[in-house]
């Protein structure tokens, strides 16, 4: 559980540990209190039940303390999740397409593979969609999961800090072979990664960006012409 592959994975682990510790402490506190009251107020010692009409201080306390604990859990988890979702600058962008029962990974130079290769130490954005049914892009080692929804585009941002080979799974039941929808997420040294990208024969990043800009400009000109007509 505690293998740290990115900064985000460590914050998820810390949040999970925080929630678990508080939950265990609350469980112990409630169990001990329950056993104590069962013994103290058992029928043999209290044949006539004693009536209690409430205690405002205790009632306020057991509302405020659990509320503060739950809000602290929320803040702890949401802060890093919010930072992750609002990342605007990234070094590489990928397009992840799910389908029964496979994954396609498209790179900025047009290369498509069924194994996902990425560089270490770079901020990476993954745009995620599905061709058929609902899937879920899940990399357990990075504590990342995002649904792949037909006709919709989701995304996740990852900054790998450790090279290695990790599993990609589908975390949403999607039919007969859902169990076998596994691929590999391979984090490489940067020099090795960019050499691999170049060996695929696609365009380099600047050429792809230039092509996309020209395409966008062409689409804009066509729309202008249509409006004039």
Q: Are strands 154-158 and 124-130 parallel, antiparallel or unpaired?
A: antiparallel
In this structure, are 79 and 97 located in the same domain? Answer: no
Residues 208 and 108: beta-carbon distance below 8 Å: yes
Per-residue confidence band for 217, with pLDDT thresholds at 50, 70 and 90 = very low
In a domain, 77, yes or no: yes
pLDDT tens-digit map of 109-123: 888 998 999 999 999
Indicate the residue among 85, 103, 134 that finishes a domain: 85
In a domain, 1, yes or no: no
In this structure, are 62 and 159 located in the same domain? Answer: no
Indicate the residue among 85, 105, 138 that finishes a domain: 85
CATH number at residue 159: 2.60.40.420
Counted domains in the chain: 2
DSSP label at residue 179: G
In this structure, are 111 and 143 located in the same domain? Answer: yes
In this structure, are 55 and 117 located in the same domain? Answer: no
In this structure, are 98 and 157 located in the same domain? Answer: yes
Per-residue confidence band for 4, with pLDDT thresholds at 50, 70 and 90 = confident
In this structure, are 103 and 194 located in the same domain? Answer: yes
pLDDT tens-digit map of 197-215: 888 865 444 443 444 344 4
Indicate the residue among 21, 56, 85 that finishes a domain: 85
**Residues forming a β-bridge with 113:** 105
What pLDDT score was predicted for residue 9? 80
CATH number at residue 25: 1.10.287.90
Residues 130 and 150: beta-carbon distance below 8 Å: yes
In this structure, are 118 and 191 located in the same domain? Answer: yes
Per-residue confidence band for 88, with pLDDT thresholds at 50, 70 and 90 = confident
Domain interval for residue 22:
7-85
Upper half-sphere CA count for residue 114 (Cβ side, 13 Å): 7
In this structure, are 135 and 168 located in the same domain? Answer: yes
List C-alpha distances in Å: 8 to 3, 48, 103, 181.
12, 58, 24, 24
In this structure, are 123 and 171 located in the same domain? Answer: yes
In this structure, are 98 and 176 located in the same domain? Answer: yes
In a domain, 2, yes or no: no
In this structure, are 77 and 133 located in the same domain? Answer: no
């Amino acid at each position: 559980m505690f293998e740290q592959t990115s900064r985000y994975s460590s914050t998820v682990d810390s949040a999970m540990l925080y929630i678990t510790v508080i939950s265990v402490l609350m469980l112990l506190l409630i169990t001990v209190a329950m056993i104590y009251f069962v013994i103290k107020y058992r029928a043999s010692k209290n044949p006539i039940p004693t009536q209690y009409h409430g205690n405002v201080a205790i009632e306020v306390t057991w509302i405020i303390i659990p509320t503060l604990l739950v809000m602290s859990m929320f803040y702890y988890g949401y802060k890093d999740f919010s930072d992750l979702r609002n990342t605007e600058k990234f070094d590489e962008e990928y397009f992840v397409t799910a389908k029964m029962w496979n994954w396609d990974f498209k790179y900025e130079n047009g290369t498509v593979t069924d194994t996902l290769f990425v560089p270490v130490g770079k901020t990476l954005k993954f745009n995620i969609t599905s061709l058929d049914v609902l899937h879920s892009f899940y990399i357990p080692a990075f504590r990342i999961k995002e649904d792949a929804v037909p006709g919709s585009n989701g995304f996740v941002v990852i900054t790998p800090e450790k090279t290695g080979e990790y599993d990609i799974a589908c975390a949403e039941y999607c039919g007969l072979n859902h169990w076998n929808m596994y691929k590999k997420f391979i984090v490489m040294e940067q020099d090795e990664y960019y050499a691999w990208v170049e060996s695929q024969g696609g365009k380099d990043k600047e050429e792809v960006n230039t092509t996309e800009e020209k395409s966008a400009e062409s689409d804009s000109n066509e729309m202008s012409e249509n409006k004039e007509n």
